[in-house]
Amino acid sequence: MQKRTLVILLIILAVAVFLRFYRLATLPPSLEWDEVATGYDANSILKTGRDQYGNWLPLTFRSIDDYKPPLYTYLTTVSIAVWGWNDFAVRFPAALLGALAIVTTYGMTYALFASQPVALLTAFFLAVSPWHVGFSRLALETNSTIFFMTAGTWAFLLGRKKGMYLPIAALFFGLNLFLYHNARVFVPLFGFGLLLLFWKDIWQQKKYAIASAVITFLFLVRLIPIVTSIEGQMRFQGTSIFTPALTQEMAARKVNYGTWLSDDQLANTGSIGKLFHNQYVFYGLLILKNYLVHFDPSFWLFTNDYVRHHVSEMGILYFIDLPLLLLGWYFLLRNANRKITLLLILWFLLAPIPAAVTRDVPHALRTEIMLPVFQMVIAWASVTLYSRFKRRLLLRQVFVGVLILLYVINISFFLHQYFVHFAKDTSRGWQYGRREAAQFAESIKENFDQIIVSTELEQPHVFFLYYLKYDPARYLSEGGTVSGGWAEQGNHFDKYYFRRFDYDQEKTSRRLFIGLPTDFPTHAVPVERIKYLNGQDAIWIVPG
Amino acid sequence: MTNLKNSFGLMSRATLVLIIFTTVSLILSRIWLLGILPPGGADSFWLRLPTACASILSVILTILIIHKLTHERKLALLTGFFLAINPWHIEQSRVYSPAMVGLSVLLAGLLVTLFTKKTILKLAISLPTLIGFYLVYPSFRLFGNFTIKLTLYEFLHNLFKLISVDYLFFHDDSYWAGGFRTFGVLLVSTLPLFIAGLFYLVKNFNFAYIRWLIPFIIIWVIAASNPMFPEQQEYFLITPYLTLILAYGSLFFYQRFKSGNLFIKTILTVLIIFFMYEQVLFFHWYMIHYSNRIKNERLYETEAF
């Protein structure tokens, strides 16, 4: 690597580190339920070797009944050991792997295109990508998967010539299977595609290829019992379109199908109706739609996804990305190496498959694994356009100037929205107020025998355990978590009880009630009103 | 007569089948049960007949224009065929639709200009075309009080909605009262053709295409700037563009089918079966369920207002 390239890469890395670590603990404004559960389980593992349910070094964390893959929680255990038990430590692995993904992306892109400008630009575009920056600041497994994917692919591409990298690729891909649910679908499909594309090169490295196959086999042997177990399928059950819990849109479509079948019976076309309006057509079209909407520019630029997943008035890509993306695909299809193009297409098309069978689509988090294909294509477009203007100096300067200007405008807008407005705009989505509620209740708990926390606060037990830094060993000795499901009424520790309540029926002077404003009658007088950052009431604390 | 016989003799069987299919589709889907499907009043047939005729004319004009521009008979016929069976085109053909009549006027004007070599004559023909367009489609956005009341963000959002997968293939909500909503602008089974068509056009991109993109962009912008969005009919004028892409996609697949191995042939056969299935589903839905929905909506409107 040339010295100049190294300096540029280090500058890009510095930008990436700044964007991922600056105000990490306080922006997003609070830890949401997955982050809190991971933080508590990681600390519990560190102190007791067991999770909140008392399971010894589990390979699947039951967490909030979503049965998380284990790798991110174990990485957080290390982080807590280093930084202490706090919000920064919980988010630290995601931010670190987010920053390291810039380096692995550079390496992978260089191995693919053999062009330093393309590799550097890809690294830069990923460093400032709203999609990647936003999710690098969350203690969720999804973003870390980008690091393992790019590292694994980089090692695989190097392994075509130097076989010793192939086992490293297998290791990264294998670890990815224990990091994120979607990777369990995507990685095998993508890995198979890589083998098909480069089997001639791999065949030249027989010894290392066999070693890689053994490593892969070991990971799969451990994984298969997990994914086929009831616990392993719980997450799929919880998010899939095949469960009885329908989204509003699905419910409306089901009603339509029912109406059509009745129409057909009245029109004496019942048998034809069954051919058209059956569950196979219903789910087939739904899956197809769920898959395809992830390729919609509307999703990339505006996104109707959760408010947590993007800043206001912006999507997960920059506006200027879109024309470059289209041009990039055009240049790739027309001129680039066929295998490179096929690899990128493969990655791009496979990534949304796991999300296609889930509810609440389009979903930026479940499809983040598409990164950094966008950035590679955009970088390719930029470099190709630049090279086309090589003989026209003025045009080239204008092109570079305009591109820089447009990116400065786009990036500035994103940073402004993120660092100035995001917390206030989305604090409700981040389940803001649980920390304040827990700390306030703790400060006055001596006045009460029982503190009853409404389960309408969504997994309140794990928020209170985390924010009160409740000793994991003591919690487990009191019985640990019964279930994380939000209908669960049986969790408690110390004076805290987590269940639904009827304020008027249950109030006594020795009880304190914590819940949403809607949990209380209008005549209830709160001793504390905790507000979202936009000023709306979030949580009421009311003595009996 | 001999010439006609000869020209039929020169046609391949596929071309002949395509012509027959397009003709039958046009007559059946535009004229048959016109007065009662969708449900209407006593004189619905006569009210709808001009639109139905304009719709048939628009298909014929599209075929002639594409043939004149590309000199490819199959491409022209396929474009016409896809337009003839396009759900949105059928729906608009069977109601009183200024947009459909306007489309025919524009296509007729375009065809005449294509046969004219002198620029001054082309401009001279454009004027009566625009006047004709205004007369048949006075509600077109440009002719009214054209003000853009949307923010830039809303406008861009609308622009991208009009080319979104959801809108194009699953949920055309541009015309609420009487519109489809349960189908997209195109049937989802044509998606592979659409992708292949776009791929072909991108791969063989020619700067001469840009002038043909300009009308599309103008219509797209006008439709997206409608303050009533998504309720608008201007975007209907782009249907020939969409069916042209499908036609390119079909030719792309046809070549693969001819030269492909068994695997490719099997995949393409499955796609054809899916396409036929969805086409029948569409007609079934249009005749039974759409008709019922319109009846219910009429009843609701009568009772509510």
- As a whole number of angstroms, the distance between CA A91 and CA A139 comes to 4
Position B4 scores a pLDDT of: 47
- As a whole number of angstroms, the distance between CA A106 and CA A109 comes to 5
* A355, A295 contact by CB (below 8 A): no
Q: A302 falls in which pLDDT band (50, 70, 90)?
A: confident
Which whole number is the average pLDDT over B216-236? 91
The b-or-e profile of A203-240 (16+ CB within 10 A means b, else e) is: eebeebbebbeebbeebeeebeebbeeeebeebbebbe
* B71, B22 contact by CB (below 8 A): no
Position B178 scores a pLDDT of: 63
Lowest mean pLDDT among A484-493, A494-503, B36-45: A484-493
State whether residue B124 sits within 8 Å of chain A by CB.
Answer: no
| Of A374 and B10, more confident | A374
- The beta strand positions in A148-262, using DSSP E, are none
Chain B contact set for A260 (CB, 8 A):
285, 288-289
Q: A233 falls in which pLDDT band (50, 70, 90)?
A: confident
Which whole number is the average pLDDT over A346-353? 96
Residue A262 clears pLDDT 80, i.e. is over it? yes
Query: What value does the CA radius of gyration of chain A take, rounded to a whole number of Å?
Result: 26
Position B1 scores a pLDDT of: 45
The answer to whether the Cβ–Cβ distance between A269 and B160 falls below 8 Å is no
State whether residue B281 sits within 8 Å of chain A by CB.
Answer: yes
Quote the mean pLDDT of chain A.
93
Task: Tell me the percentage of chain B whose pLDDT exceeds 90.
Answer: 54
Which whole number is the average pLDDT over B171-193? 85
Position A202 scores a pLDDT of: 92
B186 φ, ψ (degrees, to nearest 5) = -120, 160
- As a whole number of angstroms, the distance between CA B145 and CA A458 comes to 51
Q: B302 falls in which pLDDT band (50, 70, 90)?
A: low
Chain B contact set for A295 (CB, 8 A):
165
Residue A493 clears pLDDT 90, i.e. is over it? yes
Position B177 scores a pLDDT of: 65
Residue B36 clears pLDDT 70, i.e. is over it? yes
Position A28 scores a pLDDT of: 95
Task: Tell me the percentage of chain A whose pLDDT exceeds 90.
Answer: 80
Which whole number is the average pLDDT over A526-539? 96
Position A270 scores a pLDDT of: 82
Residue A140 clears pLDDT 80, i.e. is over it? yes
Which residue in chain B has the smallest CA separation from A319?
Answer: B156
Position B304 scores a pLDDT of: 57
Which whole number is the average pLDDT over B116-134? 91
Chain B contact set for A263 (CB, 8 A):
288-289, 292
Which residue in chain B has the smallest CA separation from A284?
Answer: B188
Which residue in chain B has the smallest CA separation from A304?
Answer: B157
Residue B10 clears pLDDT 70, i.e. is over it? no
The answer to whether the Cβ–Cβ distance between A293 and B205 falls below 8 Å is no
Chain A contact set for B153 (CB, 8 A):
313
Q: Where are the domains of chain B?
A: 15-304
Which whole number is the average pLDDT over B285-291? 88
What are A's interface residues with B at a Cβ cutoff of 8 A?
256, 259-260, 263-264, 267, 269, 272-273, 276, 281, 285, 288-289, 292-293, 295-298, 301-302, 313, 319, 329-330, 333-334
Query: Which of A523, A516, A521, A524 lies closest to A540 in space, CA to CA?
Result: A516
Residue A252 clears pLDDT 90, i.e. is over it? no
Per DSSP, A485 falls in state: -
Lowest mean pLDDT among A260-274, A522-536, B168-182: B168-182
**pLDDT digits over A374-405, tens only?**
999 999 999 999 998 878 888 889 999 999 99
Residue A51 clears pLDDT 80, i.e. is over it? yes
Give the Cβ contact number of residue B301 at 10 Å. Answer: 10
**Element at A528 (helix H, strand E):** strand A528-531
Position B6 scores a pLDDT of: 53
The answer to whether the Cβ–Cβ distance between B156 and A319 falls below 8 Å is yes
Residue A122 clears pLDDT 60, i.e. is over it? yes
Which whole number is the average pLDDT over B38-67? 93
Position B209 scores a pLDDT of: 81
Position B305 scores a pLDDT of: 55
The answer to whether the Cβ–Cβ distance between B165 and A267 falls below 8 Å is no
CA distance A498 to chain B (A): 42
CB contacts < 8 A, A to B, total 61
Which whole number is the average pLDDT over B119-134? 92
Lowest mean pLDDT among A50-59, A206-215, B196-205: B196-205
Chain B contact set for A292 (CB, 8 A):
165, 169, 191
Chain A contact set for B292 (CB, 8 A):
263
Which whole number is the average pLDDT over A247-270? 85
Which residue in chain A has the smallest CA separation from B161?
Answer: A298
Q: A82 falls in which pLDDT band (50, 70, 90)?
A: very high
SS (H, E, C) chain B: CHHHHHHHHHCCHHHHHHHHHHHHHHHHHHCCCCCCCCCCCCCHHHHHHHHHHHHHHHHHHHHHHHHHHHCCHHHHHHHHHHHHCCHHHHHHHCCCCHHHHHHHHHHHHHHHHHCCCCHHHHHHHHHHHHHHHHHHCCCCHHHCCCCCCCCHHHHHHHHHHHCCHHHHHHCCCCCCCCCCCCCCCCCHHHHHHHHHHHHHHHHCCCCCHHHHHHHHHHHHHHHHCCCCCCCCCHHHHHHHHHHHHHHHHHHHHHHHHHHCCHHHHHHHHHHHHHHHHHHHHHHHHHHHHHHHHHHHHHHHHHHHC
Q: B9 falls in which pLDDT band (50, 70, 90)?
A: low
Q: A65 falls in which pLDDT band (50, 70, 90)?
A: confident
